[in-house]
Amino acid sequence: MKWVFIFLVFVVSALAKAQESTRYETNLNILRSGEAYQESIHKNTDNQLVNLEKEIPNIVLDIRYATADNFTGQKIYTEPKAFARRPVAEALKRVQQILAEKSIGIIVYDAYRPYAATVRFYEFFKDTTFVASPYSGSRHNRGAAVDISLMDIKTGMELEMPTDYDSFSDTAAPDFYDLPENVKLNRDLLIKLMRDNGFTVYHSEWWHFDYQNWKDYELLDLSFDMLEESK
């Protein structure tokens, strides 16, 4: 009887975890297997997620979700990497090339985000002004959004922006204008160049940009390791 009881506890626990991980997904189609991901690439090579650090020369990563230095205070990613769909990466590369002529570079805070991370963010902070709802999924989950800032290539220092990354404040809005002139110029330069290359800035976050046609890409819950293995 003891072993039967232990088995039942195990089964109930496993079922509870499965229900917990899918309770937001009633109307969502999320790719979780490497096979399904490879099939999507076979249908359309634009679906491939590429490593931004390898795709874009001299781009700088500051992946804070791979550390505890983020709004959750927890390490979310296993590795400090950034991936995006191929057309997104190509557009970001064009922006980097334009900025390089001004001795300015791009800092990437986040790009593709597994769906499981969106669930963790929501359960930590449920204000969907700043955190995507797991009931719909994030554009980051589609590999079609990037969180970025600008840096001075010569000094390696970030240009002064309205707020730090992941600031949940009104000041983070791209239309907040009670700011020093140089800060507005830096932010507006970033927004203009991104807009000129197919991106739209998110209404509450100056650093978050969605790529055009983001709806064409499926939601994904693939780890960074799976992406590297499936190349």
CB 164 within 8 A of CB 114: no
Digit-coded pLDDT (tens) for 43-70: 999 999 999 999 998 999 999 999 999 9
Cα radius of gyration rounded to whole Å, the chain: 19
CATH number at residue 120: 3.30.1380.10
C-alpha to C-alpha distance for 35 and 175, rounded to whole angstroms: 42
Residue pair 211/198 in contact by the 8 Å Cβ criterion: yes
The secondary structure element, H or E, covering residue 194 is helix 181-196
Number of domains in the chain: 1
- Asked whether the predicted pLDDT for residue 20 surpasses 90, the reply is no
Which has the closest alpha carbon to 227: 6, 94, 41? 41
Higher pLDDT, 32 or 24: 32
Q: HSE of 198 in the Cβ direction (CA atoms, 13 Å)?
A: 16
Measured between alpha carbons, how far is 140 from 130 in angstroms, rounded to an integer? 13
Alpha-helical regions (H) of 2-151: 2-22, 34-43, 52-55, 86-100, 115-124
Q: Tell me which range, 23-27, 128-132, 178-182, is most confidently predicted by mean pLDDT.
A: 178-182
Q: Residue 101 has which token pair?
A: 């002529």
pLDDT digits (tens, 9 = 90+) for 168-203: 999 999 999 999 999 999 999 999 999 999 999 999
Band of the pLDDT at 231, cuts 50, 70, 90?
A: low
> Using one digit for the tens of pLDDT, what is the confidence trace for 202-220?
999 999 999 999 999 999 9
Residue 72 C-beta-side C-alpha neighbours within 13 Å: 21
Residue numbers of the domain that contains 120? 2-229
Average pLDDT across the chain, whole number: 90
